[in-house]
Chain A
Amino acid sequence: MPPNLQIAFRFLTAKRRAMALSLTCIVLGVGFFAVTQAATSGLKNLFISTLLGSDGAIRIQDEIQDTLRSMHATGNDPTSSFQIEEKEGIKLIEGIQQPKLLMAALRRFPNVSGMAEVLHENVLIRSNSQAEPDTAQIYGINIDNADDDFFKVSNLSKQIIGGSLDGFRANPESQILIGSVLAKRLQVDAGDTVTIAVPSVGEQRHYTIAAIYETGVEDIDKSRIYLHLSAVRSLVHKTTEASYIQVTLYDKDRAPFDAYQMQETLRYHATPWEERQVVWLSVFKALGVSSAITVSVFTLIAGVAMGSTLAMIVMEKTKEIAILRSMGYTPRDISLIFIWQAAIVLTIGCLAGCAVGGGITYLVSLMPLPIRGLFKTDFFPVGPSPWHYVEAIATAVLVVMVASLVPARRAARLQPGDVIRGTAQ
């Protein structure tokens, strides 16, 4: 063991009680930082996974049409035909007229893992027990199709809580899937019949509920009705058109970049998932930052306690510092002796903090927490990541080491002659 480290260790063990506060605060700071970040990430990850499982990573909809502004530069020559044209803005044309062609083009993007065309329309739905219809939206989807399978770009097939998909597969023209909240409101169950009316075309048909799904997202579960694409096209009298194409990606984090590329090359409006739920994502981000700041108070206290304890040790050990200097120990050695003390406590604190953080995170993940509305979960979702521990340790290292620098520098600046003269006289 290097002499500076050995001296630091002995000084430290002589001040165990004083160092206990710093150690405890480092453990709590690192541990709670990891726990709160895991909890926030868990909620955020579950939200993102629900978001991607419902609406995919990118939604392609509405054709972009450039609008032009013209300017004639005639100058003094009235016969000049010189003309400048520049883009003034864009105009969106609702829907996708040639979805098959667009999907063929989308397949050329290497990060695209799946896609499905969707046609939706506002409708009125009524059950046999209801006098007044409810408003809802029908979504026409293709399933079990190699190149266009909505089940491959969503979690819908895994969110069935009543009935079965068999009837939906077998009877594409007459069977539907409805959300759990809407089913409850209509007081219907799988196997019941409902009437769907499309006011825009004056059409009305009867359908059998094949299955009830639950995404956990209130807005979806109370309004979406899934039908086969062919059934919707027949109902709304649109033979080829789609409302949007839902795209999934291998790397979801590249969605903004891919969406931009798709929009620029295909001239269709492409929205990445981050843009669609920017408000909630900002809320989760703010939650993560605020909880990190709150628990960092522990680390701050650890720093203050460390600084004051080391300052106390410096005052008590001035004679020892002087004798070490007289033996040939440099100011840097003296400084290192005190920095080592902080580093030893920091190492023990960080290791214990990581263990405490990991343990509490595990216990939190077992905590029952039924949530519906924004997403669906029965237990507290946690998203532990090694980066949370790296961030927690980095914060602790920064605060504690900065706090220990002041007493360490003070110890290094002590003049041995002054100390010994003061003692000898």
Chain B
Amino acid sequence: MTGGAADDPSIALRCEGLHRYLGQGEGRVHVLRGVSFEARRGQVYAVVGPSGCGKSTLLYLLGLLDQPDEGSIWIDRELMSNSSDEARTASRGEHIGFVFQFHFLMQEFSALENVMMPMRKLGRLGPEQMAERARSLLTAVGLGEKTHRLGTQLSGGEQQRVAIARALANQPTIILADEPTGNLDAKNSSMVFDLMTRLAKENGQAIVLVTHNPEIANRCDVIRPMRDGLFI
């Protein structure tokens, strides 16, 4: 399993035998029970399942926001599960874009500044190039006229579109989305999903999204149902 598949450049993300326990003492729960998974570039994956089955926990592990108790994670063919916090942070900045249910925009910053924020940290582009790219991403998500509005001056759907633009800012290998449409109405949900998948596919990025919405899940390339910490 770690041989040829690990070197396949079309695989953006792979994990093997992930175990994760949460809580302490008597409240300790075995949330993930040896999950294995891989995501290819240009494909959209839906992880579905009942609440508490471990979907979000898996997503945070795949996004290197959390560390597994057991198992391995490869991001763009590089083993990251046992690497240092510094290396995982750098990998997040370079290879992973996040979209969360509660979009988490920096409310004191404009839409343009929010999108520029990951680019400024990565430092690949100059200030003008960063601003230009942020403007083009915001235009792509239909917010070209609202680039200088603060987070507080945007609707929920607009904020989620800014979050998508921000997730795409550094041209990551993988987009991880945790209930990206969970807080939006049907119309906005559809628009946000279409937008995210179209842009990711154009750039050959893998999308892994966690959702409770069967309509959204059915529009993905691959559906992976989970129950009790395992794919079924």
Contacts and interface: CB of A to CB of B under 8 A. Distances in A.
Nearest to B103: A323
Contact of B109 (A10, A327, A420): A10
A5 to B, nearest CB: 11
Interface string B170-202: 100000001100000000000000000000000
Interface of B: 56-57, 60, 63, 65-66, 85-86, 89-90, 92-94, 96, 98, 100-102, 104, 106, 108-109, 117-118, 120-122, 166, 170, 178-179
Interface stretch (A161-169, A203-211, A214-222, A328-336): A328-336
B60 A421 contact: yes
Contacts of A80: none
A320 B106 contact: yes
B121 A329 contact: yes
Interface of A: 3, 7, 10-11, 13-14, 319-320, 322-331, 333, 415-418, 420-421, 423-425
Given A11-B108, A415-B66, A420-B65, A329 B89 contact: yes
B65 A333 contact: no
Given A320-B104, A320-B106, A424-B101, A327 B92 contact: yes
A276 to B, nearest CB: 64
A415 B96 CA distance: 17
B56 A328 contact: no
Given A3-B120, A326-B63, A327-B118, A424 B100 contact: yes
A387 B179 CA distance: 59
A425 B60 CA distance: 13
Most buried by B among A322, A324, A326, A420: A326
A224 B57 CA distance: 92
A421 B118 CA distance: 21
6 contacts: A3-B117, A328-B92, A328-B121, A417-B60, A417-B66, A421-B57
A323 B104 contact: yes
B122 A328 contact: yes
The SS class assigned to the A binding surface is helix
Contact of B102 (A333, A415, A416, A423): A423
A326 B98 contact: yes
A330 B89 contact: yes
A424 B56 CA distance: 8
Nearest to A418: B66
A327 B118 CA distance: 5
A416 B86 CA distance: 14
Contact of B108 (A10, A323, A326, A417): A10
Give the top 9 A-B pairs by smallest Cβ distance, nearest first.
A328-B93, A417-B66, A10-B108, A417-B65, A323-B104, A327-B118, A3-B120, A417-B60, A416-B65
A329 B179 CA distance: 23
B92 A326 contact: yes
Given A327-B121, A328-B118, A329-B121, A322 B101 contact: no
A331 B85 contact: yes
Given A328-B122, A333-B121, 20 more contacts: A3-B120, A3-B121, A10-B106, A14-B108, A319-B102, A323-B100, A323-B106, A325-B65, A325-B89, A327-B93, A327-B118, A327-B121, A328-B93, A328-B94, A416-B65, A420-B65, A420-B100, A421-B56, A421-B57, A424-B100
A10 B113 CA distance: 12
A11 B109 CA distance: 10
Nearest to A13: B108
Nearest to B61: A417
Contacts of B102: 319, 423-424
Contacts of B89: 325, 328-331
Contacts of A11: 108
Nearest to B123: A3
Contacts of A327: 92-93, 98, 117-118, 121, 166
Contacts of A325: 65, 89, 92
Contacts of B60: 417, 420-421
A66 B94 CA distance: 84
A7 B106 contact: yes
B56 A425 contact: yes
Given A10-B106, A328-B122, A415-B66, A323 B85 contact: no
B99 to A, nearest CB: 10
B104 A319 contact: yes
A423 B100 CA distance: 10
Nearest to B102: A423
A324 to B, nearest CB: 8
